[in-house]
Chain A
Amino acid sequence: MSQTRSNPNAASVEIRDLRKSFGDQKVLNGITFIVSHGRTVAVLGRSGTGKSVLLKLLVGLQAPDSGSIRVAGEEITGLDPYALNRIRKQMGFLFQQAALYDSLTVAQNVAFPLRNTTLSENDRQEKVRELLSSVGLKEEHFAKMPAEISGGMQKRVGLARALALDPAILLLDEPTAGLDPISAAEIGNLITELKRRRGITAVVVTHDIQGAKTFSDTLVLLNDGHLVAQGTFDDLRKSKNEFAARFLGNGDHVSNGR
C-alpha cells in the first residue's frame, strides 16, 4: 500500500446527520462525527443502541434513511454496487458474529478476499500465514473448519480476513469480545501497531473500555440513537455529561451517586 499521508482525505470517514430506522424503531437519530486519516475512533454505547447498524451503514451494507457518509472524500450513500466495490477494496470489516464462510477452512477464509488479486499462489499462502499469526492463531488451526474452532478464534480469523487486502480503513465490530484479557490486549496491540506502521484509519465498536483507552485516539459515545459525547478518554471521563461519566466508570460519579 502506497502511503498517501499527504492527502488529509486519503482515508477519512465523515458521517453527517445519519439517520436510520427499522419500521417504527428509530435506531440512529442524527449521528455526526469525523474520523480523520490515521485516527482510531472507538464507538461505545449500551447494547442495542445501533453500533453495529452504524458500521454496516459505513460499508454500504445497509442504506441510511438520510444523512451523508463520506469515505476517503467520496459520498457512498446511493452508490451502485460496482462503485461501492471499488471503495470496499480499501476497507476491512469485521462482523460481530465473525461471519466466516462455513464451507471453507480457516486459511481459505482468510485467502478469500485475495482471490481476485494478482498474487501468486505461494505469496497468497505466505500472506495468509502471516495474517493468521498476526492475530495470534496457531498453525495447527489453519486447516480446520470454522465450526471446529472456538468463538474467540473465529473472531480472530475474521479479523485476519478483514486485514487481507491491506485496507486503509478498518471497521471492527467488537474485535475483543469473547476473548481472554491476554488475547484482547494482543488484538489491541495489533490495532495500535497497524496504526503506527501503516497509518490505518479505524472505527472500532467495543465494550472493552480499557482496550478503547489504549488503542483509540478518540471515543464516541452513543445512546438512544444520539451521539452523546466524543473526545479522548480523559475528556469524557471528566466531562459533565452524566452518561459519559457513568459509562466510563468515573469513580467520583459513582460515589456521588451513592
Chain B
Amino acid sequence: MTGSISTLAPPAARPGGGKNDLKIVVVSVFEWFGELGIFCARLFRAFTSPYEVSELIHQCDETGSKSLPLVALAGAATGVVLSLQTRDSLIHFGAKSMLPAIIAYSVIKESGPVITGLIVSGRVGAGIGAELGSMRVTEQIDAMEVSAVDPFRFLVATRVLACVLMMPLLTLCADACAIVSGWIADTLAEPISLRHFLDNGFKGARFSDFIPPTLKTLGFGFIIGIVACFQGMRTSGGTEGVGRAATSSVVLSSLFVILADVIFVRLILMIYS
C-alpha cells in the first residue's frame, strides 16, 4: 500500500535523480494496476447472496436520479452548440438538409456517451471517493468488516453495479435532451417540426448504429465505479487523504473513460464493418 496516486502526479517532489524518478513512477503505475486487478477479483467474489438490494436501490438513486439534472443540462447544451456550429458549416457546403442526421448521429454515437461519462466521473466519482475515503480513515470500513458484513459486498459491489446500471439510462436521457435542444435551436433559425426533424435525423439508421454506443456506457459505468471505489477504499492519511482520494477518483476515472472510449469505438467499428 504505497502512496498511490502520487503515482501519476509529476515526480517533482520525489528525491533522487531523474532516472530514478522514472523508475519509481513506472513501478508504482504497475503496482497500481496490480492492486486494481486484485480489487476487481475480490469484487467479483462479492457478487453472491445475500444481495444488498436496498443499498443497491439507494445507490442507484444517488448515482442515477441525482445526476439526472446535470446530465440533462449538459446534453441540452451540447445539442444547442452542435446545432449552431454545424448549421453554419453545412450552409457553407450547401448540405443544410443533413443537419438533423448529423446532430442525431454525433450525439448518440459520441457526444452523449462521453459527456455523460465525464459528468458522472466528476459527480459520482468524487462522491464515492470521498465517502469511502472518509469511512476508511474513520475506521467505519473496519467496523463493517468486524461486524462480518463484507464491505466489498455492501459498499463496493452496490456502487459499481449502480454506476453500471445507471450510465446507459443517463446517456439515453442526455441523448434525448441533446436532440430536442438541437431541434429547438434549429427550428428557431428556420422552422421545422420535431416530427420532420426526427424523421430526417433517423432516416436509414440501423440498429447497429445506435445500440453499441449506448451499451459501451456500461463499460464507462464500470470504470467509474471501480476506480472511485478503489481509490476510496485504499485511502490513508486522514482528511488530506480523503481529499486526495476524491481528486484522484475524478482524474483517473475521467481519464480512463476517455481512453476506454477510443478502444470501444475501435472495437465497434471492427465488429460492425
Binding site for B on A (CB under 8 A): 56, 59, 61, 81-82, 85-86, 88-89, 91, 93, 95, 97, 99-102, 112-113, 115-116, 161, 164-165
Contact = CB atoms under 8 A, between A and B. Distances in A.
Contacts of B145: 61, 88
Given A99-B139, A101-B140, A161-B147, 15 more contacts: A56-B142, A59-B146, A81-B42, A85-B150, A88-B145, A91-B146, A93-B146, A97-B138, A99-B140, A100-B143, A101-B144, A112-B144, A115-B149, A116-B148, A165-B148
A102 B136 CA distance: 12
A41 B42 CA distance: 36
6 contacts: A61-B142, A91-B146, A102-B138, A112-B144, A113-B149, A116-B148
Interface of B: 42, 45, 50, 135, 138-140, 142-150
Specify which of B139, B147, B150 lies most central, judged by the most chain A CB atoms within 10 Å of its CB.
B147
Contacts of A101: 135, 140, 143-144
A113 B147 CA distance: 5
Main secondary structure of the interface of B (DSSP, over half): helix
Contacts, number: 52
A62 B150 CA distance: 16
Contacts of B147: 88, 112-113, 161, 164-165
Nearest to B143: A99
Contacts of B149: 112-113, 115-116
The 7 A-B pairs of least Cβ separation, nearest first, read A113-B147, A99-B139, A99-B143, A93-B146, A88-B148, A89-B148, A85-B148
A64 B135 CA distance: 23
Specify which of A56, A91, A95 lies most central, judged by the most chain B CB atoms within 10 Å of its CB.
A95
A99 B138 CA distance: 6
A89 to B, nearest CB: 5
Contacts of A86: 148
A171 B117 CA distance: 45
Given A85-B148, A88-B148, A95-B143, A116 B50 contact: yes
